[in-house]
Structure 1
């Protein structure tokens, strides 16, 4: 179970050394090593939960059994900031294999040269990536043709809904279109005698938990950049449709001020006092890990999962969702790149390994074969997210040269839109595009 944490501050990205890709000066490693000779690899990853770390350690044990000449020393709970500092410094203490939860930064990993291009390694070992990985997963692990990372499990986002509340409101199934979403959200909203909210149908406010705007926007299938890498949100009519729908969802449940006030009564996202667990929200946007949390927390109501609704004029895309995931790569500074590739290949392409790891930490597998495996967790709630990951209309954020800075800009803009601080949406979107383009230009100069 590994929740995705939203990007909150551009300063955090800057502090991680992930704003100016031009600053990278990676140490030169070697791809001339013999992977059959005794070697010790250093693998740095971000997992820290006891069960997650055990799942990684079990994976390494399986790898070492297959490759008795390779010893892997792992370091857990490592941030992108720490990894990038180590790779810039180089030397014997730097990792050989690295993983990251932040797919938004793939553009910088690739463009900076700190992670090596994996295509040559795949070619010489017979890995045909388009036959192994779904296209969306390949999209968020390469930048401008440089496949410097591969998917290492994925996360997909969908809808959790309170079946008891649905039955009480006379709603037979979860909504599939945005018009049904607004209708059901209003029917599910309950108020106290004084008029304040007792339960929201769905809290669309962008500051709530996993409600980063890009996740709901994915239901429209937006295109953030044109072929030249220029921001184009203002030129895409789906941008205005998205914001209009979000504001209509807010209006249907009493308005922004009422929902924001209600939001402050929710407990921490990962606690037993979160909004869905306490039945203060009848529908909830979240990833596949939430189901396990609801089971372990012994939720006191009947609940189910479904894909998020889609725009009415794209009803045929129902089943889609937002995708992201963990990525793995090889440090450019590694002098054992062929041996490192053996580890990356095992972790990302071995079907049995991918399925066992996915089942262990309750994440979505990231290969065609693993997604179809009969050994995959058969829990119906989890299967919803498998289906979302397999849906050809599901999308991920495109990599950018300055990492996730454009997502931060979108978030800041979205906060103002939902609060009614953007009177001219067309102008606001043009200014957002200009800001994103300026940030991207600065990052390469």
Structure 2
């Protein structure tokens, strides 16, 4: 995972390119899938495996290379050829083509594509490997992380670090507005957002919170994570029009847009924001007093040092779900074994090490400021943390935290919901019930076409 500008493009591309990725995966080579060892690496034979990943920054590459070096030291007969800065479209093309140049192990930032990786058998089912080594996945990985690495019973990937979303707030602005603690419910949040907003002519000197879906990280799925919706019913049909939590979220967000000045005024102010992953981020500059963001922001703020004190807390929850406070939306990086690989035994040893070795997970998390992805690593005394980062560790451990479920056509359903959100917040779509019904039908038709 990146703590750079590529992170947001990762989330956007993950949702937008689902159908294109599926077209590639549909004809992917599907090799053997056994946990018995098909490359003689277990007997000491020298084996070289190829590992493709998306990390590209020098610090990130240095961190993953350090873990690979530690793995090779522990497994002297398994050699790893690591190739970084690989996007999913290239992965899918290579898996489709197969051959000696195809990767054996693949890491992806795109959790939305897990449903396709699993359903097309582009990635091998890891359940036999886990069973062979006596690894209980449910006791090893937090539930939300485990959920976004499997599809319809196929555990075709495992978590490799994670992200969680919470609330960042300006302590100086809070004190000036007389707010003594972070809001826990959405009614408290709305009151705080209003109290923290300082008008300036037709704009703002300071905005309490930017609720628009085009704002940084204020997406439909991140907000919905605080409600715990059911995106699909038991038969796999879209549940967006039937689950009242979805309409509740959209109405909450629209109410916040209207109360803070309306869509046009907010969108004009949004156009003044600097780049998200820079010192010109609107929270860094004080243009907004509260923001929804991931754990990586703690490192950015520590580096850029804004001229005010700041703190983190879980993002608020609906008033009638106060018992779930502490939850948050989660996503992360996944890693799997190419079904076309002829070196799956050696590939599994690398995957197992990267995802379940506590020291490996902790050292990687420390290096790139992401969340560990196992229970043991989350509780490790070697984990570097402070009160602000601990917020996100607690979100990752929270039993109510959730994610968006995998789908056979990737994140296309998230794009459909987001498009409805854009139309509803701007006033283009005035009948929410009708919009939800049409969106659910659109999602069902797209999924049916993809199968």
TM-score interval (norm. to shorter): over 0.9
Name 1:12's counterpart in structure 2: 17
8 Å contact from structure 2 (residues 157, 334) kept in 1: yes
1:84 aligns with 2:89: no
Name 1:274's counterpart in structure 2: 281
1:139 aligns with 2:143: no
Alpha-carbon distance between aligned partners in 2 of 1:165 and 1:362, rounded to the nearest angstrom: 27
Q: Deviations over 1:315-360 (max 9, x none)?
A: 1100000000100000011111011000000000001111111111
1:412 aligns with 2:419: yes
Q: Deviations over 1:188-231 (max 9, x none)?
A: 00112x24211110001001121221001110001000111100
1:34 aligns with 2:37: no
Equivalent residues in 2 for 1:23-422, closer than 5 Å: 23-27=27-31, 31-36=37-42, 37-192=45-200, 194-422=201-429
8 Å contact from structure 1 (residues 26, 89) kept in 2: no
8 Å contact from structure 2 (residues 29, 339) kept in 1: no
8 Å contact from structure 1 (residues 21, 111) kept in 2: no
TM-score (norm 1): 0.97
**How far did residue 29 of structure 1 move?**
7.2
**How far did residue 24 of structure 1 move?**
3.4
Alpha-carbon distance between aligned partners in 2 of 1:8 and 1:313, rounded to the nearest angstrom: 34
**How far did residue 21 of structure 1 move?**
5.1
Comparing 24-33 and 392-401, the one that deviates more: 24-33
**How far did residue 28 of structure 1 move?**
5.0
Alpha-carbon distance between aligned partners in 2 of 1:9 and 1:172, rounded to the nearest angstrom: 39
**How far did residue 76 of structure 1 move?**
0.3
- The root-mean-square deviation of aligned C-alpha atoms, in Å, is 1.4
Alpha-carbon distance between aligned partners in 2 of 1:417 and 1:91, rounded to the nearest angstrom: 48
Q: 1:10 to 1:160 in 2, by over 3 A?
A: closer
Q: Deviations over 1:300-327 (max 9, x none)?
A: 1100000000000001100000000100
8 Å contact from structure 1 (residues 288, 385) kept in 2: yes
1:435 aligns with 2:437: no
Q: 1:11 to 1:311 in 2, by over 3 A?
A: closer
8 Å contact from structure 1 (residues 178, 312) kept in 2: yes
SS at match of 2:208: strand
8 Å contact from structure 2 (residues 119, 151) kept in 1: yes
Alpha-carbon distance between aligned partners in 2 of 1:9 and 1:2, rounded to the nearest angstrom: 14
8 Å contact from structure 1 (residues 7, 404) kept in 2: no
8 Å contact from structure 2 (residues 15, 412) kept in 1: yes
Alpha-carbon distance between aligned partners in 2 of 1:255 and 1:82, rounded to the nearest angstrom: 42
8 Å contact from structure 1 (residues 115, 331) kept in 2: yes
8 Å contact from structure 1 (residues 106, 143) kept in 2: yes
How many pairs were matched up? 442
Alpha-carbon distance between aligned partners in 2 of 1:366 and 1:161, rounded to the nearest angstrom: 26
**How far did residue 117 of structure 1 move?**
0.2
SS at match of 2:169: strand
8 Å contact from structure 1 (residues 46, 78) kept in 2: yes
8 Å contact from structure 1 (residues 96, 336) kept in 2: yes
Alpha-carbon distance between aligned partners in 1 of 2:28 and 2:414, rounded to the nearest angstrom: 22
**How far did residue 22 of structure 1 move?**
3.5
Alpha-carbon distance between aligned partners in 1 of 2:30 and 2:16, rounded to the nearest angstrom: 23
8 Å contact from structure 1 (residues 136, 395) kept in 2: yes
8 Å contact from structure 1 (residues 276, 283) kept in 2: yes
**How far did residue 271 of structure 1 move?**
1.6
Q: Deviations over 1:393-424 (max 9, x none)?
A: 00011000001111111111110011011121
Unaligned runs of 5+ in 1: none
Alpha-carbon distance between aligned partners in 1 of 2:19 and 2:227, rounded to the nearest angstrom: 30
Alpha-carbon distance between aligned partners in 2 of 1:394 and 1:342, rounded to the nearest angstrom: 30
8 Å contact from structure 1 (residues 177, 310) kept in 2: yes
